[in-house]
């Protein structure tokens, strides 16, 4: 059942629409229903392009559209911004071999150039600087002009040489080159799409915004943008909350506000409105639709150990674990609550859980390929590029032809290849697999994982992903690989370990498990009962981060709750006293939280000068 406002938006005759949609108001529902409305009213689905920010979100959007349009959903172009640009460039013959400069090739080139220019900055940091420059439209010459010190100048020289020497475009080039094409010769693409729809518009970067301006340049092309500036939490990957406001000036959009919150109980909506007032004083407030009162509790806890024990006890006493979510600011805060739940034998799973993490999945894929290589040739070749980055599709095709001659894998790797570099790579791969089998006999599965990390430099190479990553990703990757290695200590064979993992994955994915996740990963999700841990200055919010973004992240965290919301105000961390988080000041107004200690109220009055 749609609300009156949702129906108005879906059926609006305006061609340029800006929908400011708060949490729980059904913004993705409205976008997908708008697509269905267009198709049912005669629009060719091939002329509709829907954009989002991750592959997972794109897949979910496709599934929703399929439910509404089972016969024509596949013709709607649904993708990420970068996938769209890849398609545009390939369609115009500008990606002849459909490959990019990524991973090991990119790292090795940047390392060489950093050495050449005596730049001490790690290659990954240099890559991040170059990515940010490109997404702001700053070319190497401009970067050098803007360099304020010797380090920035050296990075600029690396950037200049990198652009000259790389043979293939990289991930950030996709949007820039697509923009250049659309400015000069993009009529085929502009004519292809007559409707552009964007979900989570508050997350667009400057480069993505420029791409949209070019796609919607034709007067007959419609734009539908839905998002919430108060939930812009990705400024570290160049999202800009002001872009939502800029739409009105650049496109003369007609604006709708989705204000009816279908998710949360009354008290939670009131609490979130108090925080929203601090983030965006002039924004209309959310209205709750749910009839239940709900509960918001601020609990003062002395230490992280007390916090974890108290939360675990509350979950054990009063709730079904599968209805509960524990949200933290950073991954490091998960350990105490995991231990507390484990002591009570309460099942828990980290959302996008441990086994679905990219680095863990990579190691497990390699282990499967080592255990049964003949049935995992594609995986084997994919990860062999970490040994030799030049092994690709041609090598895979020739290796498959050798295997079709009934040769075993090791014989196939020793067969004749049409090119010398393939033969060299095949020999590297053969020796690599033989060595890992010896390691397994001597040191078990943990030894194999340790050898993989060393030989393939996994801790470093797995940070070189195409998509932007969370700032603490380096720590997370090392922590998870250490954890996986420790788990494998008791297993002598890869097959036994993989069977154990399969059973663990089935267990951790069951519905009766408490969800433990960061506030960033909670975005877009909802849970009946939510605990937000470690709310204190220095932990949440983090001192080193943008204060406005920390407010928005806290707003995202508290708006995940449907029935109850508990905020844990932490008094100390590792023996050091902590100050109350500024987030608590609006919540502790009379109409906000149900309870907190008088001490906490006095501290907050002192902090805000009342």
- Number of domains present in the structure of the chain: 4
> How is residue 282 annotated by DSSP?
T
In terms of domains, do 233 and 344 share one?
no
Whether residue 129 sits in one domain with residue 180: no
Q: Do the beta carbons of residue 450 and residue 485 sit within 8 Å? A: yes
With respect to residue 442, please indicate whether it lies within any of the assigned structural domains. Answer: yes
β-pair type (254-258, 287-288): unpaired
Q: Are residues 189 and 43 in the same domain?
A: yes
Query: pLDDT band for position 559 (50/70/90)?
Result: very high
Looking at 230, 258, 286, which one is the last position of a domain?
258
Residue where a domain stops, chosen among 131, 150, 167: 167
- Angle, nearest 10°, between helix axes 206-215 and 243-251? 30
73/180 same-domain check? yes
**Domain identity same for 532 and 593:** yes
Quick check: is 263 in a domain?
no
Residue 455: per-residue pLDDT: 87
Q: Please say if the pLDDT value at position 343 is more than 60.
A: yes
Whether the per-residue pLDDT at 237 is higher than 90: the answer is: no
Tell whether 407 is covered by a domain. Answer: yes
Same domain, 214 and 242: yes
pLDDT of residue 465: 56
pLDDT attached to residue 610: 38
Residue 274, in any domain of the structure:
yes
Task: Tell whether 243 and 277 lie within a shared domain.
Answer: no
Query: Is it the case that residue 590 has pLDDT exceeding 60?
Result: no
Rounded distance between C-alpha atoms, residue 244 and residue 227, angstroms: 8
Q: What is the pTM of this model?
A: 0.81
Range of the domain at 150: 101-167
Examine the pLDDT at 604 and tell me if it is beyond 80.
no
User: Crossing angle, helix 81-91 and helix 206-215, to 10 degrees?
Assistant: 50
Distances (CA, A) of 528 to 380, 507, 558: 42, 21, 12
- pLDDT at residue 390 greater than cutoff 70: yes
Last residue of a domain, one of 205, 236, 258: 258
Q: Residue 135 — pLDDT band, cuts 50, 70, 90?
A: confident
CATH of the domain at 207: 3.40.50.300
User: At 98, which helix (H) or strand (E)?
Assistant: none
Q: In angstroms, rounded to a whole number, what is the distance separating the alpha carbons of residues 379 and 353?
A: 22
The CA R_g of the chain, rounded to the nearest whole Å, is 26
Q: Can you tell me the mean pLDDT for 35-56?
A: 94
Domain co-membership, 71 together with 199: yes
| 582 vs 530: CA distance, rounded Å | 20
Residue 502 is assigned to a structural domain of this protein: no
On whether residue 321 sits in a domain, the answer given is yes
Q: Read off the pLDDT of each residue in 481-485 and give the average, rounded to a whole number.
A: 89
Pairing relationship of beta strands 576-577 and 572-573 according to DSSP bridges: antiparallel
Give SS3 for 359: helix
Pair 339, 282 in one domain: yes
Q: Looking at the structure, do residues 246 and 322 belong to the same domain, yes or no?
A: no
| Within-domain flag for 22 | yes
- Measure the CA angle with vertex 329, ends 323 and 332; round to 5°: 100
Q: Are residues 57 and 205 in the same domain?
A: yes
- Return all residues near 442 (Cβ < 8 A) that are at least 6 apart: none
Same domain, 537 and 463: no
Q: For residue 475, how many C-alpha atoms fall within 13 Å in the half-sphere facing its CB? A: 7
Is residue 503 situated within a structural domain?
Answer: no
Counting residues of the chain whose pLDDT is more than 90, the rounded percentage is: 55
């Amino acid at each position: 059942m749609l609300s009156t406002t949702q129906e108005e938006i879906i059926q609006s005759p305006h061609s340029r629409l800006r929908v400011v949609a708060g949490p729980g108001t059904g913004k993705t529902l409205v976008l997908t229903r708008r697509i269905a409305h267009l198709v049912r009213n005669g629009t060719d689905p091939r002329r509709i392009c829907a954009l989002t920010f991750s592959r997972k979100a794109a897949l979910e959007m496709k599934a929703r559209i399929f439910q509404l349009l089972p016969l024509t959903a596949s013709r709607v172009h649904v993708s990420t911004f970068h996938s769209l640009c890849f398609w545009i460039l390939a369609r115009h013959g500008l990606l002849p071999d459909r490959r990019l400069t990524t991973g090991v090739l990119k790292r090795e080139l940047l390392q060489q150039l950093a050495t050449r220019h005596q730049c001490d900055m790690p290659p990954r940091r240099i890559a991040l600087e170059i990515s940010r420059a490109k997404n702001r439209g700053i070319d190497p010459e401009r970067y050098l002009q803007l360099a304020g010190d010797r380090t920035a100048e050296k990075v600029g020289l690396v950037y200049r040489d990198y652009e000259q020497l790389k043979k293939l475009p990289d991930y950030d080039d996709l949007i820039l080159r697509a923009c250049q094409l659309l400015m000069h010769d993009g009529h085929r693409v502009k004519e292809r799409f007559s409707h552009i729809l964007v979900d989570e518009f508050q997350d667009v970067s400057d480069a993505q915004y420029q791409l949209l301006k070019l796609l919607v340049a034709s007067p007959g092309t419609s734009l539908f943008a839905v998002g919430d500036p108060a939930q812009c939490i990705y400024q570290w990957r160049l999202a800009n909350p002001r872009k939502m406001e800029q739409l009105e000036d650049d496109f003369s959009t007609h604006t709708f506000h989705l204000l009816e919150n279908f998710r949360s109980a009354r008290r939670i909506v009131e609490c979130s409105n108090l925080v929203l007032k601090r983030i965006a004083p002039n924004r209309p407030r959310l209205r709750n639709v749910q009839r239940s009162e709900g509960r918001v509790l601020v609990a003062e806890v002395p230490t992280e150990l007390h916090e974890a024990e108290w939360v675990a006890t509350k979950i054990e006493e009063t709730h079904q674990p599968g209805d509960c979510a524990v949200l933290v600011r950073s991954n490091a805060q998960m350990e105490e609550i995991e231990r507390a739940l484990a002591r009570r034998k309460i099942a828990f799973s980290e959302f996008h859980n441990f086994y679905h993490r990219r680095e863990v999945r990579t190691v497990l894929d390699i282990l499967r390929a080592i255990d049964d290589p003949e049935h995992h040739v594609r995986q084997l070749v994919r990860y062999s590029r970490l040994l030799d980055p030049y092994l690709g599709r041609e090598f895979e095709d020739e290796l498959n032809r050798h295997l079709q001659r009934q040769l075993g894998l090791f014989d196939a790797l020793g067969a004749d290849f049409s090119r010398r570099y393939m033969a060299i790579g095949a020999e590297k791969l053969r020796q690599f697999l033989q060595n890992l089998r010896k390691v397994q006999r001597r040191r078990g599965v943990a030894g194999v994982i340790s050898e993989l990390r060393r030989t393939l430099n996994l801790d470093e190479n797995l940070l070189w992903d195409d998509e932007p990553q969370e700032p603490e990703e380096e720590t997370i990757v090392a922590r998870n690989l250490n954890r996986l290695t420790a788990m494998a200590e008791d297993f002598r064979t890869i097959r036994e370990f993989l069977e154990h993992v399969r059973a663990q994955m089935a267990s951790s994915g069951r519905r009766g498990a408490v969800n433990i996740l960061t506030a960033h990963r909670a975005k877009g999700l909802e849970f009946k009962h939510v605990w937000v841990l470690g709310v204190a200055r220095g932990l949440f919010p983090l001192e080193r981060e943008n204060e406005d973004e920390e407010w928005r992240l806290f707003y995202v965290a508290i708006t995940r709750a449907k029935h109850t919301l508990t905020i844990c105000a932490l008094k100390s961390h590792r023996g050091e006293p902590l100050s109350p988080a500024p987030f608590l000041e609006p919540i502790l107004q009379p109409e906000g939280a149900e309870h907190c200690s008088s001490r906490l109220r006095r501290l907050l009055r002192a902090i805000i000068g009342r």
